[in-house]
Chains A and B, each alone.
Chain A
């Protein structure tokens, strides 16, 4: 085998902080060979991105390489001057950033942005050559030539990310570093972008360092896997070996935390208990021909359903971004008035409530949002978020009672109340905050909980435990839950009924075993095929080469909605 493209030897990176020195990476040694794809996987803060930035010599202040060496195909990176390093970036190491939407200059067309890289490294190049090279690069990532004349805002997220890839490979680098290149994209686009990246990498034969936290994506993309935890390389090997026989307990956790459709459930079946009786004969929630327009665009086409709520159920609403699922959520919460139709909560129109009714509605309909970082007011300690609604809804009998209720709620979601309640939000991790939000909902014992992507911003290893927290609440406290998500695997496990939304229409609905386990509508099939499985046998759906989502989407648009059987207590009006 020839010399590796990148050799890391005992690499240590540290950040001197007021509190002391933080060791971000601890003596990491690794080789990346030509044409090999190496995945770096680990939770946020495990040192993946820091390692990549060190290779680029772009560590953020005050980070510094404390020891070890970085060798790029015979060049000692750490010994290069700033000017030599500038010449090395892009020409020899390309970096594909996480948020492609922010990486392109919004006031420049695509073409000149691509030329910038060439000119910066090769000096004056005549226009025809530049044009030929940028066109070739765009073509290689599967974008039409006229993309070159567009501005970034005219492209979709997936196209922007592909433009970033095209820019990265325009100088045929020896090493491509891709830092969670698809984390902001939905599954269908993710699959498309990853395939582009794989193709182009094998074409130019460079090494690829793929940073991510999704075991499934890694399994479908890379040859070797490096597992990082707290700055240490805990396991490194060929993907097959790591997936089939993980040695380190952390790796085992990572693999087992990925929910599979049809796999073992991560839920606790013993939590079932009798739900409290409801005192209203009216159905809990009812949509009557609800439609929502944003300007000329219809985000949600007329939809009617009734959720009885006598037995607590979890109804999942799945779809890509832009399918109208979050719009549905905000309409249910009354944040967003429907353009047409009515939302009835226990027979009351949500948009036409008096002050007292409104307070009652707020108490009974609670939500868990996507971003656990934004949900706490940075000014207050976190117990403010729990205490305030409890008092506001008149549930608190005394301060001591509030305190006990908060402690109980924390215990119920597996948090130590003494440890978390008196902290400020920035002192807690994303997982802890999201659990606190669940605890908050629990204290209020609502009748309906709207969970809008509750785990999409939480580390993979925590997702399962937060979802099972939510799931346990359903039976324990008799809460009906609307689970809005793009993640079909978790919807498969937690829900009693699934609705698949595509461009504001329900395209397939029914029990999850049918809809997700054996999809019939082309769109549901497309979604399921796009999920990267942590399973080498199952090569990204069926492994067809001519997989073209645009065509499949067009097909999906022509197809009729498929209704797959009913579940008592939930009644979707078929259109």
Chain B
């Protein structure tokens, strides 16, 4: 180690040093950075796209029908054109415009639903773990019962009853089904943390219940909360897309799921209009891989044993 002071470091040594710095700051691990990069990419696509692209093209009949992306030909032998670089669908909508609006919408539903779900989960989990007794029984049994109910089934019924819903409404409905696992997770953590020395110390210091919950316990739960949040974003998006592909959910707002529904409905599969259903699916894939990488990266943050030097 001491020799490094005299001799300029070789490239291998510099790389090693960089790895070590990354090891020291777990938030800079490559998985987390890549995952966050994917999601930020989707958001940037939405923001930049809104500025540069003509969004009027999402309306039915605004463009020629069934044009392929640039560099491909459709069954009728028409080549892709520059006005519609990703092609158009069977209703004459521009796919680039659909994606620019639809992909951030899908992400928005997922994030909002799990944000609400997590808040409910944190509140209920802390109440159950901290107060114990009857409150704990009610919350625990409630969460356990809710976990056994398949959310898609109930949501199908709800959505058919509501007819057309807004994105926010949809997020709220989904949030009603993603609070159970954070509740259970937080309850378990709070129960074990309640016995810990520093909580007892805080009690000895005359700390209020609120202080103990939010200032002493919550900061130590942050890695778990993040992990749980990402997991429920994934669940929420899967549920939302599931509903949309079934033709439920918002009728007039483009989302990735709705685009896939229309593609299937119009027989895009047999007409070989692969770009119609393929591009939204690809973007969903990017979102899920991004979420997965973030989750793996967060695991390394909260569990140092998973970190490796090389």
Contact = CB atoms under 8 A, between A and B. Distances in A.
Interface of A: 18, 20-21, 62, 333, 335, 358-359, 362-363, 366-367, 369, 371, 373-380, 385, 388-389, 392-393, 437, 440
A376 B198 contact: yes
Contacts of A378: 198, 220
Contacts of B219: 377, 379-380
A200 B155 CA distance: 68
B309 interface: yes
B1 interface: yes
A280 to B, nearest CB: 19
Given A18-B23, A21-B1, A378-B220, A388 B202 contact: yes
Contact of A20 (B1, B196, B197, B207): B1
A393 B207 CA distance: 10
Contact of A377 (B24, B198, B206): B198
Contacts of A389: 204-206
A18 B1 CA distance: 11
Nearest to A358: B206
Chain B: number of interface residues, binned into ranges = 10 to 19
A433 to B, nearest CB: 10
Nearest to B309: A18
A333 B196 CA distance: 16
B62 to A, nearest CB: 54
Given A18-B20, A374-B196, A375-B198, A366 B204 contact: yes
B216 interface: yes
B306 interface: no
7 closest A-B pairs by beta carbon, nearest first, are: A374-B197, A389-B205, A375-B197, A379-B219, A362-B206, A377-B198, A18-B20
Nearest to A366: B204
Contacts of A392: 205-207
Interface of B: 1, 20, 23-24, 196-198, 200-207, 216, 219-220, 309
B200 A335 contact: yes
Contacts of B198: 374-378, 385
In this complex, which of B1, B197, B201, B203 has the most chain A Cβ atoms within 10 angstroms of its Cβ? B201
A388 B205 contact: yes
Contact of B216 (A374, A377, A440): A377
A377 B205 CA distance: 13
In this complex, which of A18, A362, A380, A389 has the most chain B Cβ atoms within 10 angstroms of its Cβ? A18
B191 to A, nearest CB: 15
A20 B200 CA distance: 37
A475 to B, nearest CB: 23
A362 B197 contact: no
Contacts of A359: 206
Given A376-B198, A377-B219, A393-B206, 4 more contacts: A21-B1, A375-B197, A378-B220, A379-B219
A375 B196 CA distance: 7
Nearest to A21: B1
B304 to A, nearest CB: 11
B230 to A, nearest CB: 21
Nearest to A446: B204
A385 B24 contact: no
B205 A362 contact: yes
Nearest to B201: A375
A333 B216 CA distance: 20
A18 B205 contact: no
In this complex, which of A335, A363, A388, A393 has the most chain B Cβ atoms within 10 angstroms of its Cβ? A388
A343 to B, nearest CB: 16
Nearest to A437: B201
A228 B207 CA distance: 44
B251 to A, nearest CB: 47
Nearest to A62: B309
B208 to A, nearest CB: 9
15 contacts: A20-B1, A333-B204, A335-B203, A358-B206, A362-B204, A363-B206, A373-B197, A376-B198, A376-B201, A377-B198, A377-B202, A377-B220, A389-B204, A392-B206, A393-B205
Contacts of B197: 369, 371, 373-376
B227 to A, nearest CB: 17
Given A378-B220, A393-B206, A18 B24 contact: yes
A376 B203 CA distance: 13
In this complex, which of B197, B200, B206 has the most chain A Cβ atoms within 10 angstroms of its Cβ? B206
A376 B196 CA distance: 9
Given A18-B20, A377-B216, A369 B206 contact: no
A388 B203 CA distance: 11
A437 B200 CA distance: 12
A375 B202 CA distance: 9
A62 B310 CA distance: 12
Contact of B200 (A369, A380, A440): A369
Nearest to B20: A18
A165 B23 CA distance: 41
A240 B90 CA distance: 96
In this complex, which of A369, A379, A393 has the most chain B Cβ atoms within 10 angstroms of its Cβ? A379
Contacts of B203: 335, 362
A464 to B, nearest CB: 23
A555 B202 CA distance: 43
B84 to A, nearest CB: 52
In this complex, which of B198, B202, B204, B206 has the most chain A Cβ atoms within 10 angstroms of its Cβ? B204
Nearest to B2: A20
Contacts of A376: 197-198, 201
Contact of A385 (B1, B20, B23, B201): B201
Nearest to A367: B204
B151 to A, nearest CB: 34
Contacts of B202: 377, 388
Nearest to B207: A392
Nearest to B221: A379
Nearest to B21: A18
A468 B60 CA distance: 85
B73 to A, nearest CB: 56
A373 B196 CA distance: 10
A373 to B, nearest CB: 8
A198 B273 CA distance: 82
Contacts of A369: 197, 200-201
